[in-house]
Chain A
Amino acid sequence: MKQHLQRQSGVANVDVSLIDGKVEVTPKEDGQIDPTQLLKATYDSGVSVAELDMTATGKIVKDTSGNLSFQVKPNQSFVIAPNELSKGLKPQVDSSTLVTVRGQLFKKPAGKQRKADAPAPLKLLILEVKKE
């Protein structure tokens, strides 16, 4: 799996901890990494992902449907799942201020999962807003 992930674009380093089942991915300097691709690459290597968290810097914007989104690049943004922390980010919508957040992008649903289901788009659940 480590080699599989390391081949993904934008990946600088992969650290795997067999004991606690943790995989840490360090992006390259340019930060051009796609969490969806990482999820897919992990599944393709025969391992099931229970949870995916990321730390990223970006802007808070509103998408065309009016949802609060976290934009890392003009072509890479994640819809923010509403919670207490996301409410605090509302004043920063469409401002040029960059914010660094730690959030959960994927969590394996509890219970039985139908494999034929199309993967749901990733939503970012903000866990921490970092002060820079």
Chain B
Amino acid sequence: MSKKHLALLLWAGCIFVPQLEAQIRHVEMRVEGMT
């Protein structure tokens, strides 16, 4: 694999790997009295 292909692969990896971001991702509640 050429250096150009390797660089492209690294660049694509940086773009498509989801970045970890501080946020609430999911909330789950157990409730009572729901009809």
Residues of A within 8 A of B (CB): 1, 16, 18, 20-27, 30-31, 33, 35, 38-39, 42, 46-59, 71-73, 98, 100, 108, 132
Which residues of chain B have C-beta atoms less than 8 A from A33's C-beta? Answer: 24, 27
A55 touches B26 (CB 8 A): yes
CB within 8 A of B23: which of A1, A18, A31, A53? A31
B31 touches A24 (CB 8 A): no
A23 touches B24 (CB 8 A): no
A35 touches B27 (CB 8 A): yes
Q: What is the total of A-B residue contacts with beta carbons within 8 Å? A: 105
Which residues of chain A have C-beta atoms less than 8 A from B33's C-beta? Answer: 46-48
**Interface secondary structure of B, over-half rule:** strand
A30 touches B28 (CB 8 A): no
CA–CA, A53 and B25, complex, Å: 11
B22 touches A22 (CB 8 A): no
B24 touches A56 (CB 8 A): yes
Which residues of chain A have C-beta atoms less than 8 A from B23's C-beta? Answer: 27, 30-31, 56-58, 72-73
Min CB gap A59→B, angstroms: 7
**A24-B28 CB under 8 A given contacts A16-B34, A18-B34, A48-B33:** yes
- Does B29 sit within 8 A of A, measured CB to CB? yes
